[in-house]
Amino acid sequence: MSDTMVDSESEAAQARKERREAVLQVAGRGRTRTLTLVLTYLFGFLGPAACFCLHWVLGADMFGSREVTVHVAAIAALLSLALHVHWRDCPPGFSAFLGGALLSSAIQALLVALFLLPLTLVCMLIVVGVVGLIPFGTAWTLYRASHEAHQAAALLSRRTRIAFAACGFALSSSLLLAHPVTQFVAYEIAFERIAELTPDAPERANEVLALIPGLANRPLIDEALACEDDERFLRLSKLCVLRFGFAIDRTWRRD
């Protein structure tokens, strides 16, 4: 009889312990989610919006030909972050995929922050440099979200999670190469059209380049300055006028 009572008390104590742990776990998840939401809106949405608005207002050319790439990567990161935060019943496989994509975005944000760091330190003297620290917060927020997404896919085997995460990481990382590769291909096609002996060759080449947003003019200038054929040079210069609004001068020094 006494053994039965001891067992009952032990089971009751164990049940109370499990309930207490469950309550603490739920409370911990609630606090974690609240912190995630705060960080997401602060460094995931409002912070980057402030950075880009300041960038557009000042008209600073900080990223050069990579500007479109940076913008596309930022939009992809924010979309991934929004999906992670607001899709409560996300399938485990997609959670792992998002985890990989968010990890790639976190690395990209950190690289942008490090790239801007010298300018940030200089601009600290006029307070506006504080904005340059936001990408560090964004990188941390994305990394934290990546870890949460990876944990949310715990139902999957380790190998499956890694496979999904690798796919997400690869897709997010490929966005960095999409614009440069597209630009390279467009210029190759344009240069082939320039080589054609038709009067409208520059116009036809311009039709190709017009399809690429944020096109850099440096490849066209370099191609023209390296050209020894005067007729081809004139065609390239005309293409530059059509696309960028200025002619190329042979006296320009190549950097």
For residue 165, name the pLDDT band (cuts at 50, 70, 90).
Answer: very high
CA distance 82 to 87: 8
CA distance 110 to 172: 15
Look at residue 41 and tell me whether its pLDDT is greater than 60.
yes
AA identity, residue 160: T
| In contact, 205 and 236? CB cutoff 8 Å | no
Mapping DSSP to helix (H, G, I), strand (E, B) and coil, where does residue 253 land?
Answer: coil
Look at residue 22 and tell me whether its pLDDT is greater than 70.
no
> Where is pLDDT greater, at 71 or 157?
157
Mean pLDDT, the chain, whole residue set: 79
Alpha-helical regions (H) of the chain: 2-39, 47-58, 67-86, 92-123, 134-152, 158-194, 201-209, 218-225, 230-244
For residue 92, name the pLDDT band (cuts at 50, 70, 90).
Answer: confident
Which of 91, 73, 92 shows the shortest CA–CA distance to 81?
A: 73
What does residue 245 show for φ and ψ, rounded to 5 degrees? 85, 15
Give the mean model confidence (pLDDT) for residues 87-108: 89
Render pLDDT for 168-211 as a digit per residue (tens, 0 to 9): 999 888 877 787 888 889 999 999 999 887 888 889 999 999 88
For residue 26, name the pLDDT band (cuts at 50, 70, 90).
Answer: very low
The three-state DSSP-derived secondary structure of 132-169 is: HHHHHHHHHHHHHHHHHHHHHCCCCCHHHHHHHHHHHH
